[in-house]
């Protein structure tokens, strides 16, 4: 077993620099743990549901004030937040590495994504536009306007522990909403650090930023439920497993709250006969093994055409053992740890089920790094001749199931034949195949790519997926509309009162 340097002092020093007081980090019931070493970094006090409800009431008060601040001025707060994130990028990224186990470049990438969405939202703050629509009545004008919505609840998962908050919060703030965030109980420290950075930005912005505009709720499922159940939260944006969405979605529906659900994926790629195999190898390797298979967009199923199967899969099998697994703080390491023992056990039982279903497994063993409470694995590749039940389930670990196909239509049908609908790719140089894949007869996912893997996305596009992935869309395009309410306004500037559809009602 290779031991690693302790993560505790480093995490504490970063938190101190980012403005999280040491006095808030101990004596509580929530253990903040590092998957890098398995050490406990802090023991945080948790919110009770009652305290959470009080915080949400305060956030509602903040919204009532914030909605009156002009949107471009609201954008200025988000610009300042982006500046704070730029200044703190290295520290916050290092904390993401310590608490979520991401390798250095992915930790930095996560914070860069926060900066990018802030920039995007600043521009958006001057573009929250509606339409003018032709009225059927004379001397009438009809238009739609977008108004702030209220308190936006954000529930986030461990694997994008801060970026997901920023996708929601940057947009919500410019839209005139306040935000209450319940981060993953597995990554509370990066959330505390992010909140501290927000507070720095708000202090620079001045008194127009009401207290309670951004609130953090520390705790697990019970605190999340308090957010979901609170009547003053008109929108809950919840990112996590499909199991979580299955509970949260109906609860919101029962009180007519809006749900923006970003749930599990089971993403696939097709390698067609004309694929550029060098490029495909890199695309597949990153998408399947990057982030130790712990992205919602991780490549989990690969359909390879018969004519290139042996060549390509042999190369892939040689690439797998060459990928460096280990301390994510170390330069050159590409695959860090799994988040915890439960993730390791789930991976091992999925591999056992694959073997039982006829799968031939390469990799998947534990890599002895970091001590008994850290869980590193060699990414696994499983050749299997059909989509067994285990292939159709999302196992949140680096397992790639590889299957053979002969007809593209069959590969597309197999790709779509799972409950999830997040991300998908085709590797081909054939225009007809690429266009078919993107067409109505093609991928049924929210994200469909050509000649890049399914994993990762830019903030300019709308991000999210169909079916059991939940249907929500976040980040770019017109995703901002989810954070506002639309009002249709009709103005009569004439002297008569014509009714629509020619109805008469003379009194």
Tell which one of 408, 422, 426, 457 touches ligand NAD (CB under 6 A). 422
Residue 158, interface with ligand NAD (CB under 6 A)? Answer: yes
Q: How far is CA 416 from the centre of its chain?
A: 21
Smallest distance, Å, CB 220 to ligand NAD?
5
Active site residue 262: yes
Between CA 243 and CA 227 the distance in angstroms is 17
Q: Please, which residue, 103 or 228, has the CB nearer to ligand NAD?
A: 228
Residue 179, interface with ligand NAD (CB under 6 A)? Answer: no
Between CA 436 and CA 359 the distance in angstroms is 30
The contact pattern for ligand NAD, residues 436-465, with x = CB under 6 A and - = no contact, is -----------------------------x
Look up residue 117 and give its two tokens: 């969405």
Between CA 381 and CA 361 the distance in angstroms is 6
| 126: phi then psi, degrees, rounded to nearest 5 | -105, 10
Residue 3 CB neighbours (<10 A) = 10
Residue 394, interface with ligand NAD (CB under 6 A)? Answer: yes
Between CA 82 and CA 476 the distance in angstroms is 16
Between CA 292 and CA 146 the distance in angstroms is 41
Between CA 304 and CA 308 the distance in angstroms is 7
Tell which one of 76, 99, 262, 383 touches ligand NAD (CB under 6 A). 262
Q: Please, which residue, 241 or 348, has the CB nearer to ligand NAD?
A: 241
Q: Please, which residue, 179 or 281, has the CB nearer to ligand NAD?
A: 179
If you count DSSP H runs as helices and E runs as strands, how many of each does the chain have, helices first? Answer: 15, 23
Which of the ranges 22-30, 113-121, 155-163, 451-459 carries the binding residues for ligand NAD, by CB under 6 A? Answer: 155-163
Smallest distance, Å, CB 161 to ligand NAD?
9
Between CA 150 and CA 193 the distance in angstroms is 24
Residue 15, interface with ligand NAD (CB under 6 A)? Answer: no
Contact (CB, 8 A) for 147 and 487: yes
Tell which one of 241, 373, 430, 492 touches ligand NAD (CB under 6 A). 241
Which of the ranges 48-56, 99-107, 219-227, 270-278 carries the binding residues for ligand NAD, by CB under 6 A? Answer: 219-227
* Total number of residues that touch ligand NAD (CB under 6 A): 30
Residue 220, interface with ligand NAD (CB under 6 A)? Answer: yes
Residue 247, interface with ligand NAD (CB under 6 A)? Answer: yes
| 499: phi then psi, degrees, rounded to nearest 5 | -95, 155
Which of the ranges 23-31, 89-97, 153-161, 197-205 carries the binding residues for ligand NAD, by CB under 6 A? Answer: 153-161
Point out the catalytic residue in the list 84, 262, 383, 433.
262
Between CA 177 and CA 210 the distance in angstroms is 11
Residue 30, interface with ligand NAD (CB under 6 A)? Answer: no
Contact (CB, 8 A) for 125 and 75: yes
Smallest distance, Å, CB 40 to ligand NAD?
19
Q: Please, which residue, 281 or 339, has the CB nearer to ligand NAD?
A: 339
Task: Output the CA angle 179-108-295, nearest 5 degrees.
Answer: 70
Task: Output the CA angle 434-459-90, nearest 5 degrees.
Answer: 125
Residue 87 CB neighbours (<10 A) = 13
Look up residue 507 and give its two tokens: 């009194």
Q: Pairing relation of β-strands 140-148 and 484-492?
A: antiparallel
Q: Please, which residue, 263 or 335, has the CB nearer to ligand NAD?
A: 263
Residue 263, interface with ligand NAD (CB under 6 A)? Answer: yes
| 447: phi then psi, degrees, rounded to nearest 5 | -130, 125
Residues 51-110 that bind ligand NAD (CB under 6 A): none
Tell which one of 146, 198, 396, 427 touches ligand NAD (CB under 6 A). 396
Which of the ranges 8-16, 260-268, 351-359, 377-385 carries the binding residues for ligand NAD, by CB under 6 A? Answer: 260-268
Tell which one of 11, 96, 162, 228 touches ligand NAD (CB under 6 A). 228
Which of 320, 334, 436 lies closest to 380 in space, CA to CA?
320
Residue 248, interface with ligand NAD (CB under 6 A)? Answer: yes
Smallest distance, Å, CB 165 to ligand NAD?
11
Which of the ranges 233-241, 273-281, 318-326, 426-434 carries the binding residues for ligand NAD, by CB under 6 A? Answer: 233-241
Say which residues have a Cβ less than 8 Å from residue 218's Cβ, sequence separation at least 6. Answer: 30, 44, 45, 46, 47, 183, 188, 191, 192
Smallest distance, Å, CB 86 to ligand NAD?
24
To the nearest 10 degrees (0 to 180), the angle between helices 431-438 and 408-416 is 30
330 DSSP 8-state letter: S
The contact pattern for ligand NAD, residues 281-320, with x = CB under 6 A and - = no contact, is ---------------x------------------------
Helix H or strand E encompassing 152: strand 151-155
Q: Please, which residue, 236 or 362, has the CB nearer to ligand NAD?
A: 236
Residues noted as catalytic: 262
Which residues of this protein are in contact with ligand NAD, per CB under 6 A? 155-160, 182, 184-185, 220-221, 224-225, 228, 239-241, 244, 247-248, 262-265, 296, 394, 396, 422, 465, 469
């Amino acid at each position: 077993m290779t031991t690693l340097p302790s993560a505790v002092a480093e995490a504490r020093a970063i938190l101190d620099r980012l403005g999280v007081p040491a006095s808030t980090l101990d004596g509580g019931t929530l253990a903040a743990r590092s998957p890098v070493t398995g050490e406990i970094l802090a023991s945080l006090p948790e919110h009770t549901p009652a305290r959470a409800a009080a915080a949400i009431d305060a956030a509602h008060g903040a919204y009532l004030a914030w909605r009156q601040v002009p949107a471009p001025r609201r954008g200025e707060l988000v610009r300042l937040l982006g500046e704070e994130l730029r200044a703190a990028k290295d520290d916050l990224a290092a904390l993401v590495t310590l608490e979520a186990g991401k390798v250095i470049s992915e930790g930095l990438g996560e914070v860069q994504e926060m900066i990018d969405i802030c920039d995007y939202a600043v521009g958006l703050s001057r573009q929250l536009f509606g339409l003018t629509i032709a009225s059927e009545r004379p001397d009438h004008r009809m238009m739609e306007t977008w108004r702030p919505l209220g308190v936006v609840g954000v529930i986030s998962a461990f694997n994008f522990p801060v970026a997901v908050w920023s996708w929601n919060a940057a947009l919500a703030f410019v839209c005139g909403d306040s935000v209450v965030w319940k981060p993953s109980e597995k990554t509370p420290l990066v959330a505390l650090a992010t909140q501290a950075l927000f507070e720095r930005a708000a202090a620079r912005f001045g008194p127009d930023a009401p207290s309670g505009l951004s609130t953090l709720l520390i705790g697990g499922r019970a605190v999340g439920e308090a957010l979901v159940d609170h009547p003053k939260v008109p929108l809950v944006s919840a990112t996590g497993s499909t199991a979580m969405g299955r509970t949260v979605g109906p609860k919101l529906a029962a009180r007519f709250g809006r749900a923006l659900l970003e749930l599990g994926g089971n993403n696939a790629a097709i390698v067609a006969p004309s694929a550029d195999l060098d490029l495909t190898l890199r695309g597949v390797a990153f998408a399947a093994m990057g982030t130790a298979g712990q992205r919602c967009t991780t490549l989990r199923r690969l359909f390879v055409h018969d004519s290139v199967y042996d060549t390509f899969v042999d190369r892939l099998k040689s690439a797998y053992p060459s990928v460096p697994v280990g301390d994510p703080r170390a330069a050159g390491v590409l695959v860090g740890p799994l988040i915890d023992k439960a993730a390791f056990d789930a991976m091992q039982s999925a591999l056992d089920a694959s073997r039982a279903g006829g799968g031939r497994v390469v990799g998947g063993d534990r890599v002895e790094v970091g001590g008994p409470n850290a869980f590193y694995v060699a990414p696994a590749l499983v050749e299997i001749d059909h989509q067994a039940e285990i292939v159709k389930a999302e196992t949140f670990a680096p397992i790639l199931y590889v299957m053979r196909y002969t007809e593209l239509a069959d590969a597309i049908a197999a790709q779509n034949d799972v409950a999830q609908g997040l991300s998908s790719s085709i590797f081909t140089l054939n225009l007809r195949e690429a266009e078919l894949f993107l067409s109505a007869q093609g991928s049924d996912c929210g994200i469909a790519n050509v000649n890049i893997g399914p994993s990762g996305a830019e903030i300019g596009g709308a991000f999210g997926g169909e079916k059991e992935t939940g249907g929500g869309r976040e980040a770019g395009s017109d995703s901002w509309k989810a954070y506002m309410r639309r009002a249709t306004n009709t103005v009569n500037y004439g002297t008569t009162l014509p009714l629509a559809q020619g109805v008469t009602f003379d009194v």
